[in-house]
Structure 1
């Protein structure tokens, strides 16, 4: 897909965002295609009716889930409203497009967004399930280039820290024609120094998923900067190589050792493997019933402690895959982005400019 010339694209986005046409979105049960879900929210596909014989592109719509407990908590709806306010102002080809927001009489808001084909997280899950090995290097380099450009815009022009960068918040259109950053519900404003100063602004709180969080976030330091996003970005690069969320390979190894000593090997393994998926969510699993708690052994508690101790560290690359020389640049970027000290990580602009220069050099050599 060709990207329209900047003036035409910006004009189109402005017209979409300023349109006075009312948006009609049916109740959740009428939206048959569930595209994804996160903490307290679900994303559906909305196929819009043709207008005067013109076919209209489908949208993705985001709203809080039907869970009664979730719907009573105003936090999740506030995040949708906050995300809508942010997306109205973000016009960039590598950031998901804003289409509108609708409020119901009950005060529930729905965010309408540009529809992409799938998420990077879903692609990697499929490759893992089918034992296909790491994402091809050309696709990974396309992701890195596009998302680095989105982060450069976000950090330096929009003055925002994304705050929850992970593979499921990277959208892919077509066959990696273009990749886009999404989910800004927990983004944080960067001050004039390019920092989030939580000591001076105690109302600010980093909420992002801890598996992907930088060490300074895990340590709860009072001031963080845009390099916190870069660490998370490095772990997204890791995901393209390992095909699993960061640190879960080590968890699998720990589970294997523990389960060998378990009397109910098969039952415990099935329970723990199923529970493991919850750890990639923004928040830890919901409180369990007493019956569920009794069913789970101390094995899961010990494994969870192991997992939490790995937060904010660089996970080792899997040894099962033999990476060709085509992956050298990708592996190098993974290591650079996941340096423990924020000042040792590259800026987003440095990343995409280096890739752009390398591509130009290869083309010249050819």
Structure 2
């Protein structure tokens, strides 16, 4: 769906930003399930035509049946929190807010812009079908769009997403546009672009352990927007490895396919050495950084929740020490030179020290400049 013209879009926002917006959502069994998360399910809502015009479908999010039975209010409250945030976030690379409604039982339903699928689902399919890494052109498009969204989020909205991962990046069509979603655990940044947990004891970073930055894992008192950048780097890792970060280490820890694991490590070491020869966008990013220094129903729900938790903060007790580190890149497939910049962005974004990671603005500006240079070189 194309973004409405500004005037029409603003009128639409005026209508949907009222929490009492009349949204008629059928019972969950009547809706097509799009996916499950921890404590929530997402469904497709096909809206009836109005005045003879076909209306685009919406994605609706509500707590799972199990959570309703348990009367667990946490995830229900997160839906309200997410609605409050999304009302304020008007950006082409952030999923659009459509409305929120509360039924007689107090269950909240959040209506959102409908996208085709998630990056995480695309990568899972590629992994299952042995298709190799995401095509470089699609990865570049994802990086650009997410960087634009993060720049807006960090510098204009003053928010930390707090749960970046591939399943929280939505994709429309054949990577026509990518959008960030799932702001249920997002946190406000102060005037310095930081979160001081000592001054704000009511704030807590929730996130997902596999994608957490080292400073989050270390439970430091002050974090900043660069915590999102580390998680962003691990999304880039996912486009290459096709698995969530640190899960290859899990296989090794469980003694599965040890020979293959050894080969992957060897290839990763070769790739790290090759990194020294990379140039272009990464060099420009590092230069900009040095200048700055002197300036996220009910069909087998429990099983689905368990599966989600397996890739979240579940049973990786043997790998706690891997959280907050840069996972080794597998090179089970040959990477062409098109991936050089992507690989280096992965390394830059996952630097251990937050000050050594590029800002979102630096990332998209350098990609934009690089694209312009390539275009000029081909003329």
TM over 0.5: yes
1:8 Cα deviation from its structure 2 partner:
4.7
d(CA) in 2 for partners of 1:56 and 1:137?
Answer: 34
Unpaired stretches in structure 1, ≥5 consecutive residues: 261-273, 286-303
d(CA) in 1 for partners of 2:306 and 2:101?
Answer: 35
Per-residue CA shift, 1:338-366, capped at 9, x if unaligned?
00000000000000000000001111111
Distance of aligned partners of 1:306 and 1:157 in 2 relative to their CA distance in 1, 3 Å threshold: same
TM-score scaled by structure 1? 0.86
d(CA) in 1 for partners of 2:83 and 2:77?
Answer: 10
Is the counterpart of residue 84 in structure 1 residue 105 in structure 2? Answer: no
Distance of aligned partners of 1:204 and 1:99 in 2 relative to their CA distance in 1, 3 Å threshold: same
Other structure's SS at 1:26 match? coil
1:39 Cα deviation from its structure 2 partner:
1.0
Is the counterpart of residue 348 in structure 1 residue 360 in structure 2? Answer: yes
Per-residue CA shift, 1:239-281, capped at 9, x if unaligned?
0000000011111122235999xxxxxxxxxxxxx97863322
Runs (4 or more) in structure 1 with deviation over 4 Å come to: 1-5, 18-21, 68-71, 257-260, 274-277
Per-residue CA shift, 1:160-198, capped at 9, x if unaligned?
000000000000000000000000000000001100110
Per-residue CA shift, 1:103-127, capped at 9, x if unaligned?
0111110000000000000000000
Distance of aligned partners of 1:103 and 1:125 in 2 relative to their CA distance in 1, 3 Å threshold: same
d(CA) in 2 for partners of 1:339 and 1:13?
Answer: 42
Contact 2:60 2:109 in 1 (8 A): yes
Other structure's SS at 1:244 match? coil
Alignment match of 1:330 (pick from 342, 358, 362): 342
Contact 1:211 1:279 in 2 (8 A): no
d(CA) in 2 for partners of 1:115 and 1:352?
Answer: 25
Matches within 5 A, 1:94-243: 94-243=93-242
Unpaired stretches in structure 2, ≥5 consecutive residues: 260-304
Alignment match of 2:317 (pick from 305, 318, 332): 305
2:270 corresponds in structure 1 to: none
Distance of aligned partners of 1:68 and 1:183 in 2 relative to their CA distance in 1, 3 Å threshold: closer
TM-score scaled by structure 2? 0.83
1:93 Cα deviation from its structure 2 partner:
0.1
1:44 corresponds in structure 2 to: 43
Per-residue CA shift, 1:190-241, capped at 9, x if unaligned?
0011001101111100000000000000000011000000000000000000
Distance of aligned partners of 1:179 and 1:71 in 2 relative to their CA distance in 1, 3 Å threshold: farther
Other structure's SS at 1:256 match? coil
Distance of aligned partners of 1:361 and 1:48 in 2 relative to their CA distance in 1, 3 Å threshold: same
Is the counterpart of residue 279 in structure 1 residue 310 in structure 2? Answer: yes
Other structure's SS at 1:323 match? coil
Other structure's SS at 1:67 match? helix
2:272 corresponds in structure 1 to: none
Number of residue pairs matched? 332
2:23 corresponds in structure 1 to: 23
d(CA) in 2 for partners of 1:46 and 1:308?
Answer: 39
Q: Which has the higher contact order (CA 8 A, sep 6+)?
A: 2
d(CA) in 2 for partners of 1:325 and 1:145?
Answer: 19
Per-residue CA shift, 1:22-74, capped at 9, x if unaligned?
2111111111x111111100000000111121111100000000005765111
Contact 1:100 1:112 in 2 (8 A): yes
